[in-house]
């Protein structure tokens, strides 16, 4: 057990980082589910798009030799904001092109269209990068500051990039919480989620609010994408599949349609996964290793659906007949 305790702080940090990542992506699923009641399957590609916009900007800055002249904080801010903007706009465009024409048709139709959009976007991104860089496996350039570590006492050392993920995600989540609960636009989003018809009667422009929801959810996904790239370095057009699937699991875990639920679900799933990755092998005497961490997430999903189908914080279900 000596060994198990030694790695505990590292596992906790990994879990928190992963948890924030999942929480940010899960928000996109949960917000869209809230207003449209359907799974935006292409959200994982919106996430990847953010990662790609981030890497492209960093590569451009690097090749232009701007890393030396610009302050790293400014570079990071620029990358994060452009990733968020690009993903938000892409999510809005996606809604306009692939989902809005299908309003009023059965849910299966919209879901299948979303799967199609997801596949199309993956290869579109691959095509573009093949044309532009002749490869679609990209690596984030190293920013020296991010690879430094900060000692926190008790032999715990935290890399700056993990701190970056944690601080950025916390700030954004707090801002989102305030936006949804304290502003007029946020109230409009909640109203549409509760009952679109009545919201429309109250003078809320429902379609515009839906577009706004896609923008906000997409921007959260884009932020997660940039942070993912900064933290794990490698991105390719298909790297959104697993994070997307797990973030969806996180959204269901917290109660889909429920914004604090998505944050909680992401954190719980990230922690579970980090612990599974590190301790599964120790607990089973080396028989089952970290390769089962993906399986673990789905087993969690199935267990929740059996025992607590509404998630940890309960699902915001629209009234029947609405």
Partner 1 sequence: MKVGLAHLGVVTYVIASAALVFAFPQSVLAFLFFEASLLVIYYATIERNTKVCLSALVLLVLLPLLGSVNGYFLEIAIQVAIFVTLALGLNIVVGFVGLLNLGFVAFYAIGAYLWAIFGSPQANQFLPGNLFPLASGWFFPFLILSVGVGAFTGALLGLPVLRLRGDYLAVVTLGFAEVVRALVNNFDRPINITNGPKGITPIEKPPLFFQPLLEFFGLKAEPSVIYPFYFYFIALLIVMLTVLISRRLEDSRIGRAWKAIREDEIAAAAMGIPVVRMKLLGLAVGASFASAVGVLFAAKQVFINPESFTFMESIGVLAMVILGGMGSIPGAILGATGVTILNLQLLKGLSLWLNSVRQSGIVLSIPLLGNLDLSQIPAQFEPAKYERMVFGLILILMMAFRPQGVLPPRKRGH
Structure tokens at 163: 């701190």
Binding pattern for the stretch 56-75 against partner 1, x by CB under 8 A and - elsewhere: --------------------
Helices H, strands E: what count in the chain? Answer: 13, 4
Nearer to partner 1, 67 or 128 (CB): 128
Query: Rounded to the nearest whole angstrom, what is the least distance from the CB of residue 116 to partner 1 in the complex?
Result: 3
Residue 157: φ, ψ to 5°: -120, 125
Closer residue to partner 1 in complex, CB, 113/239: 113
Residue list 121-140, contact with partner 1 (CB under 8 A): 121-124, 126-127, 130-131, 134, 136
The answer to whether residues 36 and 210 touch, using CB atoms and an 8 Å cutoff, is: yes
- What is d(CA 318, CA 202) in angstroms, rounded to the nearest whole number? 17
Q: How, if at all, do strands 149-151 and 157-159 pair?
A: antiparallel
Give least dist CB 146 to partner 1, A.
Answer: 30
308 touches partner 1 by CB under 8 A: no
CA distances from 109 to 19, 96, 98, 218, 236 (A): 32, 15, 11, 22, 28
CB of 245 to partner 1, least distance (A): 7
By the rule CB under 8 A, 96 interacts with partner 1? no
**Alpha-carbon span 141 to 59, nearest angstrom:** 7
DSSP state of 318: P
Q: Which two tokens stand for residue 160?
A: 């700056």
Token reading at 255: 């109660």
Angle at 231 between CA 226 and CA 235, to 5 degrees: 60
Using rule CB under 8 A, residue 279 touches partner 1: no
Question: Which listed residue (64, 205, 309, 314) binds partner 1 by CB under 8 A?
Answer: 309
Binding segment for partner 1 among 12-20, 167-175, 228-236, 288-296 (CB under 8 A)?
A: 288-296
Shorter beta-carbon distance to partner 1: residue 123 or 147: 123
Tell me which residues touch partner 1 (CB under 8 A): 38-39, 98, 101-102, 105, 107-113, 115-124, 126-127, 130-131, 134, 136, 241, 245, 248-249, 252, 287-288, 291-292, 294-295, 297-299, 301-302, 305-306, 309
């Amino acid at each position: 057990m000596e060994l198990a305790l030694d790695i505990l702080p590292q596992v906790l940090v990994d879990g928190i980082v992963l948890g924030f990542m999942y929480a940010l992506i899960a928000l996109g699923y949960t917000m869209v589910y809230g207003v449209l009641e359907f799974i935006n399957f292409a959200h994982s590609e919106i996430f990847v798009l953010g990662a790609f916009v981030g890497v492209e900007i960093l590569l451009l800055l690097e090749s232009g030799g701007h890393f030396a002249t610009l302050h790293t904080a400014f570079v990071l801010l620029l990358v994060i904001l452009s990733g968020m903007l690009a993903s938000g706009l892409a999510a809005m465009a996606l809604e306009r092109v692939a989902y809005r024409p299908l309003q009023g048709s059965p849910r299966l139709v919209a879901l299948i269209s979303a799967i199609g959009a997801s596949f199309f976007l993956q290869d579109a991104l691959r095509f573009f990068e093949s044309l532009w860089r002749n490869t679609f496996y990209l690596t984030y350039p190293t920013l020296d500051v991010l690879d430094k570590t900060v000692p926190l006492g008790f032999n715990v050392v935290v890399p700056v990039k993990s701190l970056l993920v944690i601080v950025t995600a916390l700030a954004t989540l707090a801002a989102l919480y305030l936006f949804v609960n304290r502003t007029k636009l946020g109230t409009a989003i909640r109203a549409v989620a509760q009952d679109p018809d009545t919201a429309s009667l109250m003078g809320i422009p429902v379609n515009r609010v839906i577009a706004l929801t896609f923008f906000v959810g997409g921007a959260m996904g884009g932020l997660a994408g940039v942070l993912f790239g900064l933290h794990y370095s490698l991105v390719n057009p298909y790297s959104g599949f697993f994070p997307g699937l797990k973030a969806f699991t996180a959204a269901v875990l917290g109660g889909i349609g429920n914004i604090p639920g998505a944050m909680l679900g992401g954190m719980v799933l990230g922690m579970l996964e980090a612990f599974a990755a590190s301790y599964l092998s120790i607990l089973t005497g080396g028989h089952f290793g970290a390769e089962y961490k993906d399986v673990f997430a789905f087993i969690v999903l199935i267990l929740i659906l059996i025992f607590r189908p509404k998630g940890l914080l309960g699902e915001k279900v629209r009234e029947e007949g609405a």
